[in-house]
Amino acid sequence: MEFELTRQNFPALIVLDEVDSTNDELLRRFGAGGLADFSVVTTMNQTAGHGRLDRGWITPVGKGLATSVFIRFESIVDNSRLRHQVGWVSLLAGFAMVRAINPFLKSVDLRAFLKWPNDVLVDGKKICGVLGRVLDDNSGLIVGAGLNLTSEKSDLPFSTSTSLAQLGVTGNSIELADEVLLRYLLELRDGISRLAGSNSDDVASLKNEIGETCATLGERVRVQNPDGTEDLARAQALDDSGGLVVRLDSGLKSKVISAGDIVHLRYE
């Protein structure tokens, strides 16, 4: 797996034939020292990846793409402005993946959308998951993404999962992986630069673009809270921290969701 297109733009790209978790691999390399900002680890064979809430994310050999990026706060902008935008980074990563795969989906007359906080959906089914983790020393974060490329129906963990191939996109899996990865990293790097920048209008514009891509907004949803309780609500907006503002059915009050699972009720 050479990933020649991506390596031309990101020469420090680390491509592994197999790894337990790309996020864990970056953590190990960070602990060993010398990890440069925007270091990237990728594989098409992830054996023990992590999803949200400790769910597993396995990448079938040669049929999916798992990628993790290390983002160092101090190296991006003076005064670590990005620290105050961390809630938006997972949203941004999902948005970057939406932008990366939409050109391929255009050939089958489909579009990808973001599901709060960090899934990518096509036709209501999950094609990509994102997991961000702030480092213990608060010096930066690692953001991982797992994309189903050419997975067959039998490879997918749930009936609500899909892949580019299942949606009708054709092509060699390695070539698809290289092209998608390049687009994703370019979009992510550009978004991080905008998010961390001093131009408040540009930051607001980016957040608006992310919001326009978020299919959760306006939807009737079930909020599965971390404490095990559930709320029925309508998703209304993204707040300044990237949280989801919902209007609860009970009491007709608004509430900001910063953690938990969201189920789009129309797809149940």
Q: Label each residue of 149-213 as H, E or C.
A: CCCCHHHCCCCCECCCCCCCCCCCHHHHHHHHHHHHHHHHHHHHHHHHCCCHHHHHHHHHHHHHH
Angle at 203 between CA 183 and CA 144, to 5 degrees: 40
Looking at residue 120, its pLDDT comes to 97
Domains 4-213 and 220-267 share a fold: no
Distance of CA 155 to the CA centre of its chain: 21
The residue ranges of every structural domain in the chain are 4-213, 220-267
Long-range Cβ contact pairs of 29-32 (< 8 A, separation 24 or more): 30/70, 30/135, 30/142
pLDDT at 130: 93
Residue 12 region by backbone torsions, left for phi larger than 0, else alpha for psi between -120 and 50, else beta = alpha
| CATH architecture assignment, domain 4-213 | 2-Layer Sandwich (3.30)
Class of domain 220-267: mainly beta
Output the pLDDT for position 30.
85
What pLDDT is stored for residue 40 in this prediction? 96
Low-confidence ranges of the chain (pLDDT < 70): 1, 34, 49-59, 74-81, 83, 267-268
CB of 200 closer than 8 Å to CB of 156: no
CB 109 within 8 A of CB 103: no
The reported pTM is 0.92
pLDDT of residue 53: 47
CA dihedral (255, 243, 111, 194) in degrees, to 10, reads 150
pLDDT at site 69: 96
User: Distance (Å, rounded) from C-alpha 127 to C-alpha 112?
Assistant: 9
